[in-house]
Amino acid sequence: MAEFSMVRTIERTRQGEALGAAAIEALVDGFTRGDIPDYQTAAWLMAVLWRGLAPDDLTALTMAMARSGDTLDLSSLGRPVADKHSTGGVGDKTTLVVAPIVAACGVPVAKMSGRGLGHTGGTIDKLESIPGFDPELTVARFMDVLRTSGLVLAGQSADLAPADGKLYALRDVTGTVPSIPLIASSIMSKKLAIGADAILLDVKVGRGAFMRTLPEATKLAETMVRIGTGAGKQTVAVISDMDRPLGRAVGNALEVIEAIETLRGGGPDDLRTLALHEAALLLVMTGAAPDEAAGERMAREAIASGAAFAKFADVIAAQGGDRHALEDFSSLPHVAAVQTVTAPASGYIAAIDPLAIGQAAMHLGAGRERKGDTIDPAVGIVLRATVGEWVERGAPLFDIHARDAAHAAAVRADALAGYRFSETPVAVPPLIKTTITAPT
Ligand code: URA
């Protein structure tokens, strides 16, 4: 390659020209080392936001970010390893259900999760509501837990894809977060650094999600599937509904309880349906099941036999968590008093705005308004009735789990404003919109 020029690279991206892998690698290396200044990288990011990136350049960007720090070698497990990622939603505790089911079916699951920001929760925040649970694992400990439990649920290591961490911080302050190629490469670089063989992506769509429309969500899903497939990984994306909260519980310990109930054969229908679908896909992708129907049967059996819950309890204990708290929920963080909000009128529930519920939970202390805020594991909202159901005036609509009456009063009206009622029956939008299995 001719000598790398950042100015020329910005200009070429601005013109919509392909850059080639060598230029992309020079850019990522130079930026990560601090040789390319933020102002030039920010200009390039803005050019990508407007002009996009050629598919080969996008793969090169993702691979360069993935290789910018530690990468794990999972080959010593001797069998295909699964990973799952959600783009984030309100009440999304699916990972806590899917990962133990898949592991209970004999497929190792290596999961690194982030913390939540804004109205969407993070898997690690939820798990940390279990007394003693430690998500901060060294690479050696990560591998050890994975080998002995067949499942590991760790926090994101700062040493994993550090180029992404640095680029994301710059995107955050330069208006360049909402770019499909940049989001796709950011997410996939971390997945590729972990190195699982089968990657299941749950792309949420709707008012409570990053992607508000189906065309946008489809584009993001297709882009990530193309990157993963191009890197030699089995990659499948499920596009699922986030125009209402998933399940009934929103808030960290409350979501852990709902995940456990689902692992034990109960739980809300939508969460169970999504978890079984995703588990079945991962079982097929890793070769553990011949087809989706067989995968779903295996997943149901893992729940019915108690194996899925036992797997969850094992990994929690392996990471220092109190196994007893998974059976006796009074040992999990909880508030002293719960306030129930009732229906102002009789009718069918036509909609529950996930943003209104997510923000109410965040204001109670379940989520972070700013990076670094501490969260309260006990608080949140539990829906007592959901979309499509009939409620009588005065019947329970939702419970507010707040630290005190003032906090509950502060979110009550906003959460209630998220409900829409109808005098006639309403059609519930499909939970699973589509599954994307191959690049188009
Ligand atoms: N999550 C990520 O990891 N990166 C993005 O760019 C957006 C969401």
Output the CA 191–ligand 1 centroid distance in Å. 12
- Split at pLDDT 50, 70, 90, the class of 282 is very high
Partners of 113 in the β-ladder: 155
- Split at pLDDT 50, 70, 90, the class of 373 is confident
With pLDDT > 70 as the criterion, what percentage of the chain qualifies? 99
pLDDT of residue 439: 58
Instruction: Write the residue with the smallest CA distance to atom 8 of ligand 1.
Output: 183
> Per residue in 74-87, pLDDT tens?
999 999 999 999 99
Q: Is the pLDDT confidence value at 119 over 60?
A: yes
To test the pocket of ligand 1, the residue of 49, 92, 160, 187 to mutate (highest count of ligand atoms within 8 Å of its CB) is 187
Residues 6+ apart with CB under 8 A from 161: 65, 66, 68, 69, 189, 190, 193
- For the chain, the average pLDDT equals 95
pLDDT of residue 371: 79
Amino acid letter at 18?
A
186 lines ligand 1 (CB under 6 A): yes
Q: How far is C-alpha 21 from the chain's CA centre?
A: 29
pLDDT of residue 372: 80
187 lines ligand 1 (CB under 6 A): yes
pLDDT of residue 278: 98
Atom of ligand 1 nearest to the CA of 177: 6
Partners of 199 in the β-ladder: 83, 235
pLDDT of residue 1: 58
Return the active site residues. 85, 164, 171, 186, 190
Output the CA 329–ligand 1 centroid distance in Å. 33
> Per residue in 328-361, pLDDT tens?
999 999 999 999 999 999 999 999 999 999 999 9
In angstroms, the CA 13 to CA 18 distance is 7
Mean pLDDT of the 13-40 span: 97
> Per residue in 200-243, pLDDT tens?
999 999 999 989 999 999 999 999 999 999 999 999 999 999 99
In angstroms, the CA 274 to CA 285 distance is 17
Tokens of 40: 């030039």
pLDDT of residue 204: 97
Half-sphere CA count of 6, side-chain side, radius 13 A? 17
pLDDT of residue 440: 52
Farthest CA pair distance, the chain: 73
Closest by CA position to 382, among listed 340, 417, 349, 347: 340
- Report the predicted TM-score, pTM, of the whole model to 2 decimal places: 0.95
